[in-house]
Structure 1
């Protein structure tokens, strides 16, 4: 099949509609991944599939879906034009009657969307972020997963409309920094990388995993999981946010909840941040 940007593929077939009885619509019963495709391949595919596997286990999805997804990904990428694009996957438990209890025999739907690539302007230097008022609810069984229940992020995204602010930092119920609305957060002190443990809430991003498992080890940086209040970020050496699309994006300005009291950092000029950014050149094909 010849695919184009904007097409939707469900269970291997190009379609233009989804059943309104799908549990993803009714209950958010599913998982999703947003994957950059460049140079004819998905960057960090193994990390995306590993997170999906954990999500399937947590939600009680059949692990065979991962095999089907991996096969369909390869076919979709092969049938798309060579230009970079975003491949979004939604894995739903499918339709299954009324009520929260899942059907015994799930009718899984693997929904792929081919979307235009987004330019986050990461080459333009550091960004400004602010503290969101919307808090992330604790959900230990779902912590780390990229599940479909994203209403806290939806509410947080409505808190600002200023294009000069690139991201909002979200806290948990105790006021500790967890993540950005669409990214993970790292901060630095004395050549040590710090980030949230995500034990109570938040998404374990694939870029976060790459930094922890490979890049930090490559450059002999320790990684410490820390609970920190937003205002404590004012006193660190550098802050950056990351995901598989924006990659590693240094934060040069921290704003408070009212988008006032700007605290200037030099994250974009920090040698550790620059080193981590440069290391991605070999991972992301041009």
Structure 2
């Protein structure tokens, strides 16, 4: 475990920074992860993170003890020196070589803390530009919505640009818009908020869920989940992306092919989010 306040790591509740080479998370990506914003010793969306993690664990056959995970989380929370990000990784643990998994009682819980190295105030205020990625997300309904450890599609897509874009727009094999490399996406069109459905591929972000389940209904807006064609995105009145670390970021353009304002409706949603969670201001 690092002692220079740049990195903390606990594995199964003990200070450590390495795992067995036989761990199935390393060998096969057999695991899940959550990246959790910490502000003033508070994790604003912790409930949503833990629910997604435990639901994902059930889907891929990992025995996840939520009570034990919470214990490890709060243990780490007491030790962090400043605001930052806690990353939780839960793997199937070590097992025999081969794909077959006999569900051993060896779940591995890895919790890491990092300081936040990005100031999101400027992109929140001024907006961001997106790259339309050439790499397409594969259709995989069983894994849809889950934040599993295999992020190769995102790694390949992120290699398509340097720093000229904030994030990359990702489509599926049928050319429907699904998400961004590290964010979910919403559009405002004809008085309605719309977001791509996450049923065949993609990650169901916790900020996306919070907005859909709580914030939008509280402000009286209707939200629809649809198969979002690129033409529908490009003809939107306003667009924003979101995740649990950055909050809500207005989108100004995609590949410079079109442009949107930092619209009034997006700003209203941003302000409503700030009221509940000031850390996203």
| TM-score under structure 2 length normalisation | 0.94
Distance 1:102 1:250 in 2: 43
What residue number does 2:105 align with?
A: 106
- Pick which of 12-21 and 113-122 moved more: 113-122
The DSSP-based 3-state class of the residue aligned with 1:210 is helix
Distance 1:263 1:2 in 2: 46
What residue number does 1:280 align with?
A: 273
Distance 2:104 2:94 in 1: 10
Unaligned runs of 5+ in 1: 256-260
Distance 2:225 2:276 in 1: 25
Q: CA deviation at 1:123?
A: 3.5
Question: Are 1:40 and 2:46 an aligned pair?
Answer: no
The DSSP-based 3-state class of the residue aligned with 1:207 is helix
What residue number does 1:241 align with?
A: 241
Question: Are 1:262 and 2:257 an aligned pair?
Answer: yes
Report if the CA contact (8 A) 2:11-2:109 is conserved.
Answer: yes
Distance 2:54 2:250 in 1: 30
What residue number does 1:205 align with?
A: 205
Distance 1:123 1:153 in 2: 23
Report if the CA contact (8 A) 2:85-2:114 is conserved.
Answer: yes
Q: CA deviation at 1:106?
A: 3.3
Question: Are 1:250 and 2:250 an aligned pair?
Answer: yes
CA RMSD of aligned residues (A): 1.7
The DSSP-based 3-state class of the residue aligned with 2:228 is coil
What residue number does 2:15 align with?
A: 14
Q: CA deviation at 1:262?
A: 2.7
The DSSP-based 3-state class of the residue aligned with 2:59 is helix
The C-alpha deviation readout for 1:33-70, integer Å capped at 9, x for no partner, is 0001001111200000110121011012224x211111
The DSSP-based 3-state class of the residue aligned with 2:165 is coil
Q: CA deviation at 1:215?
A: 0.8
Q: CA deviation at 1:247?
A: 0.5
Q: CA deviation at 1:284?
A: 2.8
Unaligned runs of 5+ in 2: none
What residue number does 1:194 align with?
A: 194
Question: Are 1:80 and 2:80 an aligned pair?
Answer: yes
Quickly say closer, same or farther: Cα 1:168–1:76, change in 2 above 3 A: same
Report if the CA contact (8 A) 2:61-2:103 is conserved.
Answer: no
Q: CA deviation at 1:235?
A: 1.0
The DSSP-based 3-state class of the residue aligned with 1:42 is coil
Distance 1:84 1:104 in 2: 36
The C-alpha deviation readout for 1:152-195, integer Å capped at 9, x for no partner, is 1010000011x231010000110000000000010011231101
| TM-score under structure 1 length normalisation | 0.92
Q: CA deviation at 1:231?
A: 3.4
Report if the CA contact (8 A) 1:39-1:285 is conserved.
Answer: no
Distance 2:126 2:49 in 1: 27
What residue number does 1:118 align with?
A: 117
The C-alpha deviation readout for 1:187-214, integer Å capped at 9, x for no partner, is 0112311011110000000000011001
Question: Are 1:71 and 2:64 an aligned pair?
Answer: no
Distance 2:212 2:250 in 1: 17
Report if the CA contact (8 A) 2:62-2:103 is conserved.
Answer: no
What residue number does 1:172 align with?
A: 172
